Structure 1
């Protein structure tokens, strides 16, 4: 090591110490990108390293495709309305909505935000979160799209098409966010998937009811609801291939903003509508269970 012109230089690299310090952040980002893509940082370009990278890519792709189509299959849950009485369905739905609200908020706060923000500046983190929140607000304002968790929603046929469009966009964005989370941290990605699935069950039941009341035959309503859900694996595949070229941490935060909006704007107001003490206690309990489950998973995976 020698001193030259007030700069300390490494004898091998010839780089000023300040440049070396400035490159630390770049190396951290490179390490995170390597983890996402399955690269080996210390293995160079050996045959074993390339084989491991290819195997990791294939494994990730398989899990993303399976998870995507399983999420789409939830759209078929509307068929249970054929065998359940509306009053029974309503009693079951609101506690499930409460659980979904808790898991969505917990999944965003304890899993997606910590993973997505690890490689980003705080301001950039906030921008991505805000973008996810505002995007879903725009969907509601401009598409007049909403979730309904009642077994007897009302609606006219034009509304049914808006429901299908809104759900298709919603599912595509959900696939982007959840697959991106999985690529960075598989455990966090699975938790985000479970949280989204808990939300999808009551949503799809309500959407199925809207389609039927809007003039769709039951079989057609199931088919179109399922087709609109296929945009979830499409979004997941877009995230997978985008991760080969770009840092996907922002998409994770975007998805977290989606989760927070759905829970805070759509689900929580609905579970607050019932004024009886018993219903309030039940809904608060299920909501707390959702929060606690996601927190325990985060602590276990830490």
Structure 2
């Protein structure tokens, strides 16, 4: 007897007797990482992730050389029923999207950047720590380098503006930060000039600009005050927008020999953070 015809435009119903086999722990794609997840490479960065927020790690790939070092990470993922796998160099480079992966790559759920609240920031001033604010720093490598320096010297917070060119957390920034994003709280400020004005009294707002304002040869003098400093740094090419510069109480520049035009923004940030950040107890 012939089978009844399937109505046009409707697919035949699947057989209930056939079910897809359950996924295996190591049955992960051998292509690039899913776009919804960040790829974080390098043992320092991955170690920081597991130390501070292991729940964000969704998958782990590593080469044979680092197998002993990531054993604890694998146990944590196994307990959370999340996949991990040792792979060869070629596959690890594909997963990482670069050969500069350091032997281990974690796929993580990106963390959102909370909104900056100037009133809450006024309460932060009680700890005496400076506040670093980036307005239009567009290179993700510079953002990563700045977060790495901030973490090294114990600066607890960094604020970025809503400038359209401002770099935000990305795979490139994470790679350069070497775990710095896990030690520093990052916030994003809307309407930065207005936010800077609301900080006055709690912070001394100081902008940095090339060849403008008062030359400072000993930036540590900025810390010799009962009021902590909020340092604002602008775009690598054009500096701070005029409205941001006008909202600062003071504009400073770090003088040099004149052999080159200026310092890289990440290098300038390192000088200022080293001079201003309060010592952190181990």
> Given the two structures, how large is their TM-score scaled by the length of structure 1?
0.24
| Greater share of residues in helix | 1
Higher relative contact order (CA 8 A, sep 6+): 1
Q: Report which of the two structures shows the higher radius of gyration computed on alpha carbons.
A: 2
| Greater share of residues in strand | 2
